[in-house]
Chains A and B, each alone.
Chain A
Amino acid sequence: MIIVLLAAIALFFIVGVPIAFALGAGATIAILWEGTLPISIVAQRMFFGLDSWLLMAIPLFMLAGQLMSTGGMSTRLVAFATELFGFVRGSLAMVSVAASMVFAGVSGSSTADTAAVGSILLPLMDERGYDMRFATALQAAAGSIGPIIPPSLLMILIGFTTGTSVSALFLGGIVPGLLIGLGLMVVAYVHAARGGDAYLPVRQGINLRRLARTGIAAAPALGMPVIILVGIVGGFFTTTEAAVIAVVYGLFVSMFVYREITIAQLPRLIMRSAELAAVIMFIQTTAFLFAWLITVHEVPGMLARLMVEWVSGPGTFFLLYLPLLLLVGAVMESFSATVVMLPIVFPIAQSFGVDPVHFGVVTTVGWAIGYVTPPFGATLFVACSLSGKTIRETTPHIVPIVVSMLVVLLLITYIPAIVLFIPGWFG
């Protein structure tokens, strides 16, 4: 039955059936093949995959992200970051990383992050004569921090799929996100040091008056991550409630403070957010059916018994898991990869004593590297379409960037304390 299930799904994938429908059709065929389950189980499982209070944070954070990237927050964040980092060599590259990190704390989505910051900074870098192949790769990587620094749509889905606390995952992502940003700044500095005059600083020193002025203009955007984090960590709101506060806050700031969104624009924004959320959530409905079949047939247990000969604990487990994570991340979109792979892998990880929060954060960082690596790199696609460079042109410049991200991945995998110490304060 499991073989029928996996073979049918693989076949549908190859023929080009969208992932959500391939999972559903494959599961249906397996159920009909076995013949003992009522067909109403299909609708029932799908319904439970949608009827979730936690997952509601996904459409809400999606809407908040759309509001804030259209509503003028990104422009002001970039202006502020330019005053902060303008005196460094390769300053615009630094600004791209720094602004993406702050925007990561506002939106939960890597592609929204890449588009919001990249659409402002990539043209500026081009104007100054930066090597755009490098700039594109860097912006793609900077955007991939979006789901690592909270809030994070990806972590909500990982938390839901594995039954792990989303707020613990959020907290666990803070340090890895900062480390990746730091690594990218180092790579950018090395690149700028060897580049020509294009990389000269855009400002002479820090002008305190301009810093203060742009800082005040950016304050409403900077306040967002604070509200979300304090609210969730302090136990004032649940993740979903924090998401709705982000929506209301985003609406207020972009309509009444920055005045860049009008009522007439709202239906289009809402529709766009609903579609983006539906793409993720509809996969989740049929994946719920798939995961249920996998669990009922005890597939993870069987695989774990097979692996027991080689795997003795978390260390050896990750030795096998990291290559799988990077490979799947490179060829598949992260949300589908999460719902297909984690129902199988997570129980195995647990049976070898891996901490659920550690597992979730490592997985998030692994997928983030997948956003940057071809052939399927979600933020790479966005950055390339913004700069007009092809994936082939940027690929050589991706190498040092991905190496810096891999270093962080290995660090957080083998020193779990880096991930777990902040959640530990609040646990």
Chain B
Amino acid sequence: MIQAATFDKVLSPVRRAVRAGVVIIFGALVLVVFAQVIARSVFNAPFSWSEELARYLQVWLILLASAACVRKQLHLTVDYAVHALAERAQRRLQVVALAAVSFFLVVVIVSSLSLIAATGSQMTPALQIPIRAVYVALPVGALLMLLETLALAVRLLGPPEDLLPVDEHAGGEA
């Protein structure tokens, strides 16, 4: 049985990289969109590439941040039924739920790899970069989410003292 601590140790550089990636990409996104506003409204010379670049940054941003949300269990859940159960039954159901999440993430990885294979060397319209560089965010993001899901499962199946307190801000932000 893998211990939660070992899993965390292996994942910690990955988590730092994800965090750095999110902060840098979000910063770049703000700069690109702001530069576009200035170029268009002040200099009356709109860029051809900024909107496309911003959209692709957003794809990467959301998929990476989503992996961090899996770890902190921020993804919204309808949990009335689960909460009505006894603790042991709750933990069993959580394992089932994590299995369903993993199933979907594996599908996303397979599905996006086949999408990437189908696009070949296609280029994006404005930036002229390979469209694969954008699509690849899907399998990378899904793989990161899958790793975090497995980390949660390891924790859940291990001794009870490893259980993380659930983030109290897990409610929706609307």
Contact = CB atoms under 8 A, between A and B. Distances in A.
Contact of A15 (B41, B59, B97, B103): B97
Given A21-B104, A40-B118, A275-B69, A50 B172 contact: no
A267 B16 CA distance: 12
Interface string A260-295: 000000110011011111111111010000000000
B153 interface: no
Which of A15, A112, A334, A382 has its CB near the most chain B CB atoms (within 10 A)? A15
Contact of B51 (A38, A50, A53): A53
Contact of B100 (A17, A111, A153): A17
A182 interface: no
A109 B114 contact: no
B96 to A, nearest CB: 5
B87 interface: no
A28 interface: yes
Contacts of B29: 56, 59-60
A266 B22 CA distance: 12
B81 A40 contact: no
B10 to A, nearest CB: 22
Interface in A40-65: 40-44, 46-47, 50-53, 55-56, 59-60, 62-63
Contacts of B78: 13-14, 16, 19, 331-332
Contact of A16 (B77, B108, B134): B77
Given A15-B82, A20-B75, A47-B59, A267 B23 contact: yes
B147 interface: no
Interface string A235-260: 01100110111011000000000000
Contacts of B58: 50-52, 55-56, 59
B26 A154 contact: no
Interface stretch (B1-9, B60-68, B157-165): B60-68
Contact of A46 (B94, B118, B138): B138
Given A21-B100, A43-B138, A279 B111 contact: no
B81 A14 contact: yes
A342 to B, nearest CB: 15
B97 A110 contact: no
Contacts of A51: 55-56, 58-59, 134
Contact of B62 (A19, A50, A109, A379): A50
B33 A244 contact: yes
Interface majority SS (helix, strand, loop, mixed), chain A = helix
A281 B105 CA distance: 16
Q: How large is the interface on B (under 10, 10 to 19, 20 to 34, 35 or more residues)?
A: 35 or more
Interface string B37-63: 100010000000001001110110111
Contacts of B103: 25, 28
B104 A111 contact: no
B26 A111 contact: no
A282 B62 CA distance: 7
Nearest to B33: A244
B86 interface: no
B72 interface: yes
A101 to B, nearest CB: 16
A162 interface: no
Contacts of B63: 50, 282
Interface string A366-410: 010001000100110110010000000000000000000000000
Interface string B89-119: 0000110110011011101101110110010
B72 to A, nearest CB: 7
A278 B71 CA distance: 13
A147 interface: yes
A59 B94 CA distance: 30
A53 B58 CA distance: 9
Given A270-B22, A275-B72, A237 B174 contact: no
Contacts of A334: 172, 174
A153 B173 CA distance: 10
B172 A378 contact: yes
A153 B93 CA distance: 33
B55 A382 contact: no
Interface of B: 19, 22-23, 26-27, 29-30, 33-34, 36-37, 41, 51, 54-56, 58-59, 61-63, 65-66, 68-69, 72, 74-82, 93-94, 96-97, 100-101, 103-105, 107-108, 110-112, 114-115, 118, 134-135, 138, 168, 171-174
Given A335-B172, A336-B76, A385-B168, 9 more contacts: A15-B82, A18-B101, A25-B103, A39-B110, A43-B138, A55-B58, A60-B33, A63-B26, A241-B37
17 contacts: A14-B81, A15-B93, A15-B96, A18-B97, A20-B76, A21-B75, A40-B111, A43-B135, A51-B59, A244-B34, A248-B34, A267-B19, A271-B19, A274-B23, A275-B72, A279-B173, A335-B174
4 nearest A-B pairs in the assembled complex, by CB-CB distance: A333-B172, A278-B65, A18-B75, A43-B112
